[in-house]
Copies of this chain bind each other. A is one copy, B any other.
Amino acid sequence: MQPSMAPRTESVRSKRGSIVDAAIDRFGSDGYEHTKWSTIADDVGLGQTALYHYFESKAHCLLTIMRIELTQSLERFRRVTRVADPVEALRLAVHSAYEGTPRDALQRRILQNHVDLLSTPRPWEKEEQERQRSRALVREIEEAWTDLIARGVRSGEFTQRDPLMSARMVLALVVGVWRWYRPGGPHTLDQIGALNADAALRILE
C-alpha cells in the first residue's frame, strides 16, 4: 500500500470520509458539545492544522454530517417509493428510515439533535453553505412526503386531509425514534420500522 501513489483527489476524499466517520462516532457517543475538535484530529491521525484543510470548524463538520444525512434520506425515499401503490410506498418509506448500519443510526440521531442549528445564519461561509443546502433538503423531503400522501388521497387509499400536515405528522413519528432509541433495547430498528409504518398508515387511512 503506497498512499502517496494514489490520485490526490481520491486521497483527499477518503480522508474527508474518515474524518466524517470519526466525527459521527464521537458526536454520537460523547455528544457534539463534549467532543473536542482535537480529539477527532487524533482519531484520524491528523494535526489540528491539517484538519482545518478539510473543515473550517467543528460546526462545519456537524453541518456537513447533517447535510449528508438529509441527502441520503431523500435518496432513500425516492428509491423505495417508485412502486405504484401509495400504501406500499408509504410503508417502504417509513421502514427504510431505520435501515442501515449502527453508524447510520448515529448519523440520524445527530441530525435530529441539531436541527435547530438550521434556523439561524452561520458566521462562516462554508458552514452557511451547508446550512442553506440542508434547509433546501428539509423542504424537498417535506414536499416528497406530501406528494406521496396527496397521491394516496387522490387514489382514495388515504382519507382526504391537508397532505402537508399529514406529512409533518408522519415525519414526526419517523424521526421521533432517534430521541429515545439506543442499541440493545427490547426492540430492533427493524421492528420499530414495522410498528411505525403501521402507525403511519393508521394516521393516513
Contacts and interface: CB of A to CB of B under 8 A. Distances in A.
Contact of A187 (B119, B165, B177): B165
Given A187-B165, A202-B202, A116 B173 contact: no
Nearest to A159: B202
Given A116-B31, A199-B169, A176 B176 contact: yes
A61 B32 CA distance: 20
A115 interface: yes
> Interface of chain A, helix or strand or loop or mixed?
helix
Contacts of A115: 113, 179
A171 B176 contact: yes
Nearest to A109: B116
Contact of A172 (B162, B165, B173, B187): B173
29 contacts: A30-B120, A31-B116, A31-B119, A31-B120, A32-B116, A33-B117, A33-B120, A113-B115, A114-B116, A115-B179, A162-B195, A165-B187, A165-B192, A165-B195, A168-B176, A168-B177, A169-B176, A169-B199, A172-B173, A172-B175, A172-B176, A172-B179, A173-B176, A175-B176, A199-B203, A202-B202, A202-B203, A202-B205, A203-B203
Interface of A: 30-34, 113-117, 119-120, 161-162, 165, 168-169, 171-173, 175-177, 179-180, 187, 192, 195-196, 199, 202-203, 205
